[in-house]
Structure 1
Amino acid sequence: MGVARAYRAGSPYNGVELAELDLEQNADTLYLAHLDHPPAKLVRRGHADWEVVSLTFGPAIAAPTGVNTVATVANTDSENDGNGYFPQPATYVVTAVNDESGQESRASTPDSAFNDLTLKRNYNGISWSAVTGASRYNLYKADNSQFYGYIGTTEDLFFRDDNIGPALDRAPPQGDNPFAAAGDYPSTVTFHEQRLLFARTSNHPNAVWGSRAGTSEFENFDRSRPLRDSDAYSFAIAAGRVNAVNQLVSTTSLIALTGDAIFNVDGDGQGGVLTANAQAVRRQVGRGCARLNPLLIDNVVFYRPSVGNAVRTLNYAFEVEGLKSNDVSIFSPHLFEGHDIVSWAYAQEPRSLIWAARADGKLLCFTWEQEQNVWGWTLCETDGRVLSVCAISEGGEDRLYLIVERDMPGGTRRFVERMAAARWEDVAESCYLDCAVSAEFDEAQASFTGLWHLEGRSDVAGIVDGAAVTGLSVSGGRVTLPPSIGTGRKVTFGLPFAAEVRSLPLRVNMEGEGWTIGRRQQAGQIVLDLADTRSIRAGVAPDKLFPVKQRLDEAWGDPDALMNGAYLIDSANHVSGDAEVHVRQDAPLPFTLLGLFMEPVIGG
């Protein structure tokens, strides 16, 4: 389906820099981090109202103004000629608090008074102007140039200090922006324990910064002196090398994936909460991570290692009481050798798939069912180059979106494409074509327009009211059905592709006969367990494929019914060193293989 127009929003990043742009989403706000740009956020205010905004670090609530301290001196110890009267300076600052957001402002401008508050009836009165959004105000005092300490809170605009001792373990927040200049711009961002975390600057590649906790605003990196647990924190990962923090992942703890190793970070080394006063960094795995964003699926982290071409996982292992890494590409190394993954996404429903775009434009698909211990890679070759992928939940399933570059008549073009829905009620509603468009009409017709993206192609295929048609040509953005098909109401047109399945060579130890390796083998009878499938061929070799019989009692002129269940096939007389089964589908029709079985004949 095409669009009438594209919406564009300005951005400080150019196309070359996008590969190094890290991002983390919070509702309609996307936080952005790049080594050469100040931290920013992409804010969505409406369907056609998007803006990239630089972050302004600090609390959202303003500090009080107009602070005025008045000393009330009712007692100067005149009965003792003033010998007991010893006035000292007391300096006060006020902060505004919004209880709904949890924000506390920075301190006001200080104001002082001289008084002897140790004598009865003497007090200092502090007043200030109201702050928009403030629920109450906190008061802090410094006696005789000491540090500030908390002395109370009030919902009024006046506070009376009659010799309240300041709590020096609780000081007012002090403004801090650790990302103020070039060289200090972070390039990694995530959320963890209700904090916004940044990491990896040019000046400090192994450092991590966390915002203040317990607030609804994440752009506040203020601290107090002495530190409070809820203050913003920072720490460095030091383990013998400069461990640049390429990615951060939030699980039950914080996982720092550096270029050299993987580190587990918590508050006490036992899973405690990270605070400004407690950070425990422990090395877990010696295989570092590349800059590609990791995928967190259930309790498992998928990542691309910094050295080599593979995909590894991270998860907690009881036998080592820590994180353990596994290579999940070990059975398919030929799909990764010499190739890097540049973009990937996880589609949870309905089939739990990881889609990964390689640097050469090929698309990989990884089936992942952790609880069933089912996993494996597939190569999806399209008529084009896949540049980027993402998954978006729509209609009860996760739909994959792709940016695909295709060589079309007239030049190279890029398309935003969406993977067809996996669930459908009728074959006429399915789509097993590449670069396809679908439409439904009130009246059946034989000619269809709107195919400008396939202009000049003579290999277009389609599904017309559930029937497959191939060998169509597009001219002037129009395609016309052949007389054998006639007309149609529900149609889909696109580029065809072939689905191929090949079983692994037979390697078993047969009782009393030994291993099958190196012995002559024949597949014998083959059984395919199919679901909602039509028009496939199967056999023992690519040149020995035969149609799987499917038409039974359908009425004349009706499409073939879908195949569901077990289908027995007698294989061709083909003897070789390995017994294999090949299944292929060239038609743009559904094909789901649940199981493949054979009864091999093994020679002596």
Structure 2
Amino acid sequence: MARLRAFKNNFTAGEIAAELLGRPDLSAYANGAAKLRNVLIRPTGGVTRRPGLRHVAMLPDSEDEGARLVTFRFNTEQTYLLLFIEGEIRVFHQETLAAIVAAPWSADQVRQLSWVQSADTLFICHPDIPPQRLTRTAHDNWDIAGFAFKIEDGSGIKRVPSFKFAKEDVTLTPSSTSGTITLTASEDLFTDAHIGTRFRIKKKEVEITGISSATQATATTKESLVDAASTRDWEEQAFSDHRGWPVAVTLFQERLIFAGSRDLPNRVWMSKTSDITNFNLGTALDDESIEFSLLTDQVEAIRAVVAGRHLQLFTAGAEWMITGEPLTPAKLRVDRQTRIGSQIERSIPPCHVDGATMFIARDGRGLRQFLYTDLDQAYSAEDMALLVPHLFNDPRGMDYDATRKLILLPMGDGSLAVQTNFRSQQILAWTRLQTDGAFRAVAVLNDSIYVLVQRQNGLYLECLDEACFCDAAWRGSSNDPKTVWGGLEHLEGRSVRVRADGIDRGSYGIVDGMLSLASAASSIEVGLPFKHEIEPLPAEIGGDAIAQSGPVRLIRAVFRLQDTAALLVDMGNGPRALAFTRFGETGALDAAPVPFTGDREMRGLGWVRGVDKPLWRIDQAAPQPFTLLSVYTELKGTE
């Protein structure tokens, strides 16, 4: 019988897919695991049970797609969490509902919203809705209104982008040069949706006031026309209900930038410098507005525009770099960098991560790192989810926690995929968080991670809190110990786990928002239990030591722990608790455990063949702290 000793001193490769079971030669195999659920990977290599989710607010139940979380930072003290749902925006300040603002979008439209903040204003775009300006005037006073393009005093000329959508040879004939006139088109052109929009005839502006037919419209001149002759030199307002509205928005070099629309999917518009409502092209002076299209071998529908080291465009088929120091009509340069493409069916804003821009690939199966290198003077788009395709299932959002170095992505299956990202240390490790319900959205505000969770009783706003050990958790205290606790309406009818005075009291039911304990307590935490799971990859076997196809027996395992108060391990003969935990008849701890740091050894039992069953497995729901630093294993197998 041959023996194999292995020391796993870190989990810095995170959970990896089963496709790598045949590649024990990779460093990711040595530092990875078969399953890491509801744990977070420390930059030093260990894994720790994730914090619980503290209950913040019950929310109006929304359709599956109809909820987004957006952060709004006015200054260090005035920060807000905005909830976008069907027909409204809910504003939270310091986790208290401060305002409810009526909004013009449906539940289906929420998933296509994009936004950017400037001081006290949030600009919000959707391809079927005029751009909106959400403005904060006080903590509890917020207003939303359509974005207003600049109108020149006196003349009434609107500085809105324009474009000729019709064929080049289509002409317009005005009946006169001023006042109320009739416009006659050489082909069908006008619809009722044109009413209120602006046309430019030989660069002179008129406003459509009525539609007589598809070839005839009534208009009011905003400036005298050059003449009343038939002309092909005309354009109509680029944005309208008829032509669509901007898809994406950002701010860059003191310009407001709109990108893409339904009828102009590959076009970009930049405002005049320091005059963000003015899109007048003028005479192409350095500070005047800029327009351009991505002219390629295929239509590049723009999905996002990002202000980074350079202006970055993300389209359905490629990624682009827009350069110019500064951007001016004469200096602007557009270069395609990579050909990955972004999602079409929903808008997931890319996020900045330590100098890189993370974006979701078009197929929804990968997270790409758009990173510029000075050596190549170009961007690359490395796949950051190459080893974990099983964790990616219809991403619905993304945000980055810069303090903990975590990229967080809620998935369509209700899980929350999390990458610990320390690029400088080459730590890119994935885990999966799960809860009794489904994660729907995530946002990071003031170092706190907020999530929307769809649970059995509705939609909830919750916060990842290191002081909590359960989900949808409520914490209370009393100077006088008591058995009856109220304020638990959000857990009505649920079976909950109770942690009282640091002791796990097991499961209870909530009736009429009340909890009745068997014995009095001074402090409690009540919430939904969750379990964390850790499974190692099959032992690295082969060569002259142990035959890969032969049976293997785990003789013993030594778990190095830090500040751990509960550990339940299955070594092949069922789950067993280590000695420092004390369990009562109900399965709950009968006394508050003292967190332990050090090594604990357990003996294995039974033989394992193949990769179907792990040599050891941690699977526990005890609401207690847990951190695993390393594992030493001793195996026996056939030669």
Q: Select which of 517, 524, 542 maps to 2:548.
A: 517
Deviations 1:92-145 (A, max 9, x none): xxxxxxxxxxxxxxxxxxxxxxxxxxxxxxxxxxxxxxxxxxxxxxxxxxxxx9
SS of 1:453 mapped into structure 2: helix
1:406 is aligned with what amino acid?
R
- Local SS of the residue matching 2:456: strand
2: CA distance, partners of 1:287 / 1:475 = 52
Indicate how the Cα distance of structure 1 residues 29 and 587 shifts in structure 2: closer, same or farther if over 3 A, else same.
same
Q: 1:585 aligns with which of 608, 620, 624?
A: 620
Match of 1:402 among 451, 454, 459: 451
CA deviation digits over 1:5-50, x for unaligned, max 9? 7732111112221111111122331110111111121111112211
Give the equivalent residue in structure 2 for 1:292. Answer: 348
* 1:527 and 1:597 in contact (8 A); partners too: yes
- Pairing partner for 1:38 from 108, 125, 130: 130
**Backbone CA RMSD of aligned residues:** 2.9
* CA 348–567 in structure 1, closer or farther in 2 if over 3 Å, else same: farther
* 1:280 matched residue in structure 2: 333
Counterpart residue number, 1:373? 426
Q: d(CA) in 1 for partners of 2:364 and 2:512?
A: 48
Residue 563 of structure 2 corresponds to residue 532 of structure 1: yes
Match of 1:346 among 400, 412, 421: 400
- Structure-2-length-normalised TM-score: 0.66
Counterparts of 2:321 and 2:452, CA distance in 1:
35
* CA separation of 1:487 and 1:250: change in aligned 2, threshold 3 A: same
Alpha-carbon distance in 1 for matches of 2:114, 2:133: 11
Matched, 1:434 2:471: yes
C-alpha deviation, 1:360, in angstroms = 3.0
Q: Does 1:461 align with 2:494?
A: no
Cα separation, 2, equivalents of 1:261 and 1:597: 46
Q: Is the alpha carbon distance of 1:181 and 1:495 closer, same or farther for their aligned partners in structure 2, counting shifts above 3 Å?
A: closer
For 1:415, the equivalent position in structure 2 comes to: 460
Match of 1:69 in 2: none
Aligned to 1:550: 580
Q: Does 1:236 align with 2:236?
A: no
SS at structure 2 position matched to 1:202: coil
Change (3 A) 1:442 1:249: same
Name the structure 2 match of 1:58. Answer: 150
Q: In the alignment, which residue of structure 2 is the partner of 1:29?
A: 121
2:315 match: 258
Q: Once the two structures are superposed, what CA deviation does each residue of 1:277-325 show, in whole Å capped at 9, x if it has no partner?
A: 2221111111111132112111122211113522222212466542112
Question: Is 2:443 the partner of 1:443?
Answer: no
In the alignment, the residues of structure 1 paired with residue 479 and residue 623 of structure 2 have an alpha-carbon distance, to the nearest angstrom, of 24
Q: AA paired with 1:31? A: F
The structural deviation recorded for 1:515 is 7.4
Number of aligned residue pairs: give it. Answer: 458
Q: Note if contact 2:504-2:590 (Cα within 8 Å) is conserved in structure 1.
A: no
Q: Show CA shifts across 1:163-222 (max 9, x none).
A: xxxxxxxxxxxxx98546642520101122232211011221111112222x2x533323
* Matched residue type, 1:385: A
Residue 593 of structure 1 aligns to a residue in which SS?
A: strand
Hey, what's the Cα distance between the residues in 1 that align with 2:373 and 2:632?
A: 34
Give SS of 1:446's match.
strand
CA distance in 2, matches of 1:593, 1:177: 62
Query: How far, CA to CA, are the matches of 2:599 and 2:407 in structure 1?
Result: 28
Unaligned runs of 5+ in 1: 66-144, 146-175, 423-429
Q: Which has the higher contact order (CA 8 A, sep 6+)?
A: 2
Give the match for residue 222 of structure 1.
280
Opposite residue 276 of structure 1, the aligned amino acid is: P
**Amino acid across the alignment from 1:20:** Q
Aligned to 1:334: 390
Cα distance in structure 2, aligned partners of 1:194 and 1:530: 52
Unaligned runs of 5+ in 2: 1-54, 58-95, 157-225, 227-235, 583-588
Matches within 5 A, 1:501-516: 501-507=534-540, 513=544
Q: Do 1:58 and 1:222's aligned partners in 2 also have CA atoms closer than 8 Å?
A: no
2:524 is aligned to 491
2:438 aligned with 1:385? yes
2:112 maps to what in 1? Answer: 20
Give the structure 2 partner of residue 303 of structure 1: 359
Q: Are the equivalent residues in 1 in contact too, given 2:580–2:593 (CA < 8 A)?
A: yes
Instruction: Give the Cα–Cα distance (whole angstroms) in 2 for the partners of residues 417 and 316 of structure 1.
Output: 36
Query: Could you say which residue in structure 2 is the equivalent of 1:138?
Result: none
Q: 2:452, 2:262 → 1: CA distance? A: 31
The Cα of 1:231 is off from its aligned counterpart by 1.6
Q: Is the 8 A contact 1:540 1:574 kept in 2?
A: no
Conservation of the 8 A alpha-carbon contact between 1:536 and 1:586: no
- Partner residue of 2:510? 474
Q: Distance in 2 between matches of 1:326 and 1:524?
A: 41
Shift of 1:497: 1.0
Aligned residue identity for 1:221: F
Give, as a single letter, the amino acid of the residue that structure 1 aligns with 2:399. A
- Give the secondary structure class of the aligned counterpart of 2:490: helix
Larger radius of gyration: 1
Alpha-carbon shift at residue 64 of structure 1 (Å): 12
- Quick one: distance in 1 between partners of 2:471 and 2:394? 24
Partners of 1:531 and 1:594 within 8 A in 2: yes
Cα distance change on mapping 1:374 and 1:544 into 2, 3 Å:
farther
Q: In the alignment, is the contact (CA less than 8 A) between 2:531 and 2:620 conserved in 1?
A: yes
Q: Is the 8 A contact 1:506 1:516 kept in 2?
A: no
The question of whether the paired residues in 1 share the 8 Å contact of 2:129 and 2:241 is answered with: no
Aligned residue for 1:239, secondary structure, equals coil
- Relative distance call for 1:2 and 1:500 in structure 2 (3 A) is closer
Contact 1:507 1:516 in 2 (8 A): no
2:337 match: secondary structure: strand
- Letter of the 2:288 counterpart: D
Percentage identity across aligned positions?
A: 25
